Structures are given as C-alpha cells and as structure tokens.
Structure 1
Amino acid sequence: MKISLKSGLLASTFVFASISTFAQEKDIDLPPEATEFYKPVPQKIQAGESKNTPPSDAKILFDGANLSAFVNEKDGSEPTWNIEEDVLTVNPGTGGILTKENFGDMQLHLEWRSPSEIKGDGQQRGNSGVIIMGKYEVQILDSFENDTYTNGQAASIYKQSPPLVNATKAPGEWNTYDIIFTAPRFNKDGMLLNPAKLTVLHNGVVVQNNYELHGPTAYIGILNYTKHKEKLPIHFQDHGSPVSFRNIWVRELE
C-alpha cells in the first residue's frame, strides 16, 4: 500500500499525540522507541555552497542570464528591463514583470539595491516591491535614513505591518530578502479558512515573524479577502525607480 507524505505526517502526528495524551493520563514509563518514527523520510537536497548559491531544488527565476521566466505585466510580452553584468534593473515606465509560472506556498530569495544616486524622499526614493501571488506586497524602498510611514518602509508588508527593525543598507548596497509565504485557504463557497502568512528575513534579520495578513495589499481602504486560485504569479513592481535585482530563486513548499 502506498502512503503519501501528507498521510505519513498525519499518521505520525496522531500516534505521537495519542502517546503523549496517554502518558499524561497515566504515570507510566515509555521506552524511547515509543516516541520515534522513521517515515516519512525527508527528501535529500544539496544546500547552497554560499549564501548566494541556491539549493539544488530551487527554481531559478533570474541568475543574470535572461528574463525567460517572466512576462510584462501589461500585455504578457517580453520584458524590457535592463540586464547588465548579471544585474536586472527596472526600466521605469515599462511596467512590472510577472513570473510565467504560478506559485502558492513558497520560500522566495531575492537580492535588491536602491540607486546609489538619491532622488526624492519618502515613497519616491528607490521604490519597488515584490507582490506575492500578485496580491500580497513586501515593500522595497530605500529606507536608509529616509522617513516615511512605517508600514510602507522597506520590508514592511505594505500598508499592513511595519518591519520589526529597519535593516536597510545604504543606497547602492545590496540587500537580501528571504521570504517564507503560506497562501490563504478558502472553502468551496469562498469563505476564508486560514489567512495568508509571511515571514521575512531582511539581510538575515527576522523583520516579519509569521505575520497573518488581513487581506490582499490595498493602497486605500479596508482589506478584505476574496477567494482566488491556489497558485498565482509573483509580481516585481515598476514604481518609477531604477531598482536593481539579482539572484532570484524560489522553492515550492508542498
């Protein structure tokens, strides 16, 4: 009989929970084997050799070569952002880019930098964003000595949750985001069962800790969930600033 990974996990959890409950109810001695299980076996992958190297099971979205993983958000055409020396830079006014592939639960890694030449202030300074499922935005902004509303600064969940700390590097220096995302769940009637959740590490620092989103990102108004597909594209935003990116990869968390 074939047992799925999910079924194996559920079974193991049930057995462990049953033993724990029984042990609490009765003062008994259990052998160590009673709380050990060997199935399922985690898949073996090769971790990256350095912090800039993706793991072996990652899907590479941009490694400096081309934009074959993306389309233009406006019309689905080939993106016209600029690639130079393995660095991708927003071509302001041409529109954001969307992944061709759809994603749900995921681990997303990207590196970004705001322009070294400072222009403007507040939300006009090095503004972009990574919008998961095209709905849930983690803000990209030059927040190095740059005042703005805190739920709109770098590493905020835009208009929802400010970062726990400001870990933004100086203009022209590279920042990293490591994002763990859990997609929302809906029932067949469209009722929300579980909200979306986001954990964000900014330059290795936890700045969003399993935050439960109140709904998709909205610039104005009250947030509300509406049922949507289980997987959707990732959107990298053109907000009029020549923000640069490199080393973008994703791991699906099934």
Structure 2
Amino acid sequence: MTINKKFILGLSLSLAVYSMNSANAQDYRFNKKNPEKPEATEFWDPEVRVVTPGAVPSDAIVLFDGKTLTGWESAKDGSEAKWTVADGILTVGKGTGNISTKQHFGDCQLHIEWRSPDEPETLKGQQKGNSGIFFNGIYEVQVLNSYQNRTYRNGQAGSIYKQTAPLVNAVTKPGGWNVYDIIYTAPRFTINGGIETPGYLTVILNGIVVQNHTKIQGVTNYIGQPTNPVHDVKGPISLQDHGNLVSYRNIWVREL
C-alpha cells in the first residue's frame, strides 16, 4: 500500500504543533519560572463580616416589635401613626392613611409578613385585601388578596404595581399569612437629573421568586406612565392604607 508523502508530512506537522501547545500549557501551569501562584488571586482581608442567621438575623433592624409603633409615623404629615396594634400584629387603621418608617433606607433586604382579611364575595379585584409596601416611599410592591380573585396582571400580589406582573401567583387563602422577602436596589441619578443606574426589586413570596431582579421603571403612578424624579438614595419604607383591614407582622430590614 502506497502512503501519500504529503499526508505523512501534514500529520507530522500537526503532531509537532500539538506537542508545542501542550508543552506551553504545561509550562504556564507548572513551570517554576512562572511568577503566578494560587495566592495571587486569594483575598484574605478584610475578613467577611459574620451575621448570625435566625428568625431575625443578628444585623437586622426590627421595624415592628409587635407592641408599639415606635419608629413609624403618618406618611402624610409626620404625625403619630394610628394603625392598630394587638397580639403582635399591626393592622391598617382604616381611613388613617399610609404610615412610614422614621428611619430611611436605601439598598436593603426587607422581611415582612402580611394577611388579607376574609372579606365578602361581593368584593372583587382591587377591592379585596388591598395594601402595598413602598420603598423610598414611592416604589410599590403590591399587597392584595389574589387568591381566586382576578384582576389586572400588573396589579395583583407580587407585582411592581402598574409596572411588572409577578412571574406566578403564590398567595395563600384569605386569613392565612403570606411572607415577603424583598431585595431593593435604589436607583442612582446623575448630577443633571438622568438615571445613572436604575432601581431593581427581587421579590420572594412564600418561598417562590415572583420578581427576579426586575428593573423599576419609575415612581408608582395610579394613572399614567411611571416617572423618574430625582431623589435621595435613601427614603422611608411605607405601608399603604387602601381601605382594607390588611395585617402585618415580623417586619425587619437589613441594610446592604
């Protein structure tokens, strides 16, 4: 059988190139002359801060202690918050208006549990168990009895209200407690009023992701498109009085 000399030559060249590349790779990884060491990409200081996990993490700020509304005020005029506190539960003071934290927060992790009342079947849509949680006092994550209660997609529980619908509907039956764990990244603005970096919300409802690092389009407006007025990075966390006796408990926040 005749062997093609050109084939032999090509094969020899290929093997030579492979050997050189292999040798170079070995040299890069193992040659003692290579100045790089594993330690070159290891960072030891400052040491990572220790946080003790638990029902309330050790570095969390408790916003509602189950007994008083110390730390809260009327969102409208800064007067005393007038919602009802009983048995470790905070309930909307119907007709008393929104309440806000006196302390302001920017980037944060918020834990809050909420319960919609078991209301008559005659109430539908946005009339049932309606409230809301506002970051910076202006960006709303919707609270609503969305259990077998049809309404517009971007207005049900877990939505960034009037902007982005939740990925799924994960609410419990009326009378049961729902758990929100929310990560908020505040928007930043340029000196001339533009958006340097937008805000984002990640919302976990009852252990299920319903907003996955969702861009905040702007301030929550009931009518019209979202707007983007310039504001400070930090602002209050507010709870909405929408006329329904929605209850809250176990409220804490971690600054990020």
Comparing 116-125 and 131-140, the one that deviates more = 116-125
Displacement of 1:75 in angstroms is 2.1
Q: Is residue 2:39 matched to residue 1:36?
A: no
Q: Is residue 2:178 matched to residue 1:172?
A: no
Aligned with residue 112 of structure 1, among 114, 133, 139: 114
TM-score by length of 1: 0.85
List gaps (5 residues or longer) in structure 1: 1-25
**SS of residue paired to 1:209:** strand
The residue aligned with 1:90 is 92
Distance 1:205 1:40 in 2: 34
Distance 1:139 1:208 in 2: 12
Displacement of 1:199 in angstroms is 0.3
Identity of aligned residues (%): 54
Return the letter of the residue paired with 1:176. V
The residue aligned with 1:223 is 226
Return the letter of the residue paired with 1:77. S
**SS of residue paired to 2:227:** coil
Return the letter of the residue paired with 2:146. S
Aligned with residue 195 of structure 1, among 194, 198, 207: 198
Q: Is residue 2:187 matched to residue 1:184?
A: yes
The residue aligned with 1:79 is 81
Distance 1:222 1:245 in 2: 29
Quick check: 1:168–1:175 contact (8 Å CA) kept in 2?
yes
Quick check: 2:119–2:128 contact (8 Å CA) kept in 1?
no
Q: Is residue 2:159 matched to residue 1:156?
A: yes
Distance 2:47 2:253 in 1: 22
Displacement of 1:191 in angstroms is 1.3
Aligned with residue 142 of structure 1, among 142, 145, 163: 145
Displacement of 1:240 in angstroms is 0.2
Displacement of 1:198 in angstroms is 0.4
Comparing 113-122 and 152-161, the one that deviates more = 113-122
Q: Deviations over 1:114-155 (max 9, x none)?
A: 002345110000000001101110000000000000100001
Aligned with residue 47 of structure 1, among 37, 42, 53: 53
Displacement of 1:230 in angstroms is 1.5
Distance 1:187 1:180 in 2: 23
Map residues 238-249 of structure 1 onto 2, 5 A cutoff.
238-249=241-252
**SS of residue paired to 2:154:** helix
List gaps (5 residues or longer) in structure 2: 1-23, 30-35
Quick check: 1:152–1:162 contact (8 Å CA) kept in 2?
yes
Distance 2:230 2:249 in 1: 32
Aligned with residue 217 of structure 2, among 214, 219, 223: 214
Return the letter of the residue paired with 1:177. Y
**After TM superposition, where is structure 1 displaced by more than 6 Å over at least 4 residues in a row?**
none
Quick check: 2:67–2:86 contact (8 Å CA) kept in 1?
no
**SS of residue paired to 1:206:** strand
Distance 1:32 1:204 in 2: 38
Distance 2:154 2:139 in 1: 13
Comparing 116-125 and 98-107, the one that deviates more = 116-125
Displacement of 1:224 in angstroms is 2.3
